[in-house]
Amino acid sequence: MTSSGHGARRLYEITYLGSGPDPDVRMVEAGEVAAVIEHADEHGMQVLIRPCTHPHDRSQTDSHHAG
């Protein structure tokens, strides 16, 4: 396996804002981002969209949040 940009799926993290204390977070492929934006606009929702360069690193960054 290689991690080159060829053939790799580009993922985005979608956070639905204003949906309570724990916002709904989902991962979508690049081709789905436009549909997410359109859906949010039609329903008066706000979304935060961030590219995910290394989805597997998320658990590592969460573990740094020791309280």
Q: What is the pLDDT of residues 4-29, one digit of tens each?
A: 455 568 999 999 998 678 889 999 99
pLDDT at residue 45, rounded to an integer:
92
Q: Is the whole model's pTM more than 0.85, yes or no?
A: no
Amino acid of residue 27? M
Cα distances (angstroms) measured from residue 40 to each of 7, 10, 12, 27? 29, 21, 15, 15
Question: Cα 26–30–35 angle (5° rounding)?
Answer: 70
Q: Which residues pair with 52 in a beta bridge?
A: 11
pLDDT at residue 20, rounded to an integer:
78
pLDDT tens, residue by residue, 38-55 = 999 999 999 999 999 764
